[in-house]
Structure 1
Amino acid sequence: MKSFKSPGRHGYAVEISPFLASTIACASSQYYGIAGCGTLLVLEQREADVLLVRSFDWNDGLFDVTWSENNEHVLVTGGGDGSLQIWDTANPQGLLQVLKGHTQEVYSVDWSQTRAENLVVSGSWDHTAKVWDPEQCQLVSSLQEPLIYSTIWSPHIPACFASASGDGTLRVWDVKGGSCRLAVPAHRAEILSCDWCKYDQNILVTGAVDCSLRVWDLRNVRHPVAQMMGHSYAIRRVKFYPFYKTILASCSYDFTVRFWDYSKNQPLLETLEHHSEFVCGLDFNLHIPNQVVDCSWDETVKVFTPSCLAAL
């Protein structure tokens, strides 16, 4: 396991570059995001350690980060002041643009992966999801819904994203039509995270404050395909494994990262307890099939290979 320590910066989100296996971005905040500034950390993992390459400060906490899908140097972060920041790691100044439109914390940002578009979606506590054109720095669409914790583009369907809300609902949105295509009463608690399966456009997973993960098939949402229990506190982030259809990972306020195979009768594959605070960020490496990165309020970013994936 490789680790990076960022004193005074508590990790909220982490994402590995879609272009470079060694490059990691981490959105972090001072004072646990309650007060102070935020910092975007750009890290490089070497054979034995993880090093800081660049860091960029913002005047409020940073809660999420997403890499551009068409420029290896560009990232977008979401801030506590309601703005999105576009950064260029190859630019000495770092900051390219600030997108203003939200009136409360931006808790989620995601860059579209389908070839037909180049869009960023943001989810905020101001009860809106907004879609942006990052090249033109323009707002494309604004959609109303309850307090939003997570917004994730479909990797299969153009102009379609899912959102996870404070009212326990998973929603699927059509940007072109400007409407909600489907609303699923997924949990009787706040949903903090959702993700799409990389192999099936109809499968999503949700993670909630009720400590459960639920897998949904959009063709029949009367009941979840699977429910997974094991976390003892709220699930902060869920991610599908990009190399195997039914495997996914979750991280939680219970300080653990867990790996699951929802197709099995006993779905829990492995539990890792290598943090001493809330684990908020989680990502898989698209270039190295069994590698995972996470970040925590304990000021560390960790890169590791869980034994359950190494055995695949």
Structure 2
Amino acid sequence: MSEVDGRTVVLVGDQAGMLGRWDSHDRRQMGEPVSAHVHYTRSGVTSAAAGHFGGRPAAVTSGRMEARLWDVRTLQQVGPPLRGHVGDDITAAALYDQEGTALAVTVSQDRTARIWDLTADQPAEGHARPALAAAYHSYQGRDLAVTGSDGGSGRLGDLASSEECASPLEGHTGQVLAVAVADAGGSLVVATGGSDTTVRLWEPLRGRAATGPLLGHTNAVRCAVFGELDERSVLLTGSDDGTVRLWDARVGTELRPPLSGRFLATRFARAVGVPHRRHSPTRRLGCLLR
């Protein structure tokens, strides 16, 4: 519970990881709840404690391996998440703010307690969840890296300055499992592939998506690579649906029918001089390796 402008506000966190505010006098919800501790594998708000930070009503909440500080009046997050506990849920958190000292204390199932100085400079948040894919490209004298995360976003960073050089690439509804980056037609183009079965093309330095989502795969997209075909910039993607698809890297249209798993196995067998038979996948792989 917290006091905001003379009214008692109740903070409520649920097992879905959402955090909401309620006016205790009117018994009504104040605004929309926010996503506080939502994770791909397991969500939930394990604790919430009210206090003050910078003279304003604040609260610290905890969840899976992280705590977050909130401005109760606006229900906006203050600063990056507090991460440091290893492998387990944070079970409780407390907030202390007196005489210019602002601290948060968290305890976890990893059998540690941690004290956080809330007034110290914190690093930029970057990905809020584990990074799953990365690619490198040198563009106009800049060494750039693109990464994809468990949280469904891609990010472009400058390796020399260690800073992001574009807005997050957001649009996937699941994990970003594959990324690629290249100079296509004089513009820097990034491709992302996700567990939501879509492929997306971006022009991050121009702050926009190059095309709409590329549809065709029916399972998670695991790999992506740019190349050239007949003097045209193309993108190859591979998926758990057993196909490889070829796209125009500028407009996103599919250029050929998809290559299926059996077709690829046959072509590879011919390339290495092994007769293709209707063996099981394990048997075929053994033949190719021999």
Taking structure 2 as the reference length, the TM-score comes to 0.45
Q: Name the one with the larger helix percent.
A: 2
Taking structure 1 as the reference length, the TM-score comes to 0.42
Q: Name the one with the larger strand percent.
A: 1
Q: Which has the higher contact order (CA 8 A, sep 6+)?
A: 1
Q: Which has the larger radius of gyration?
A: 2
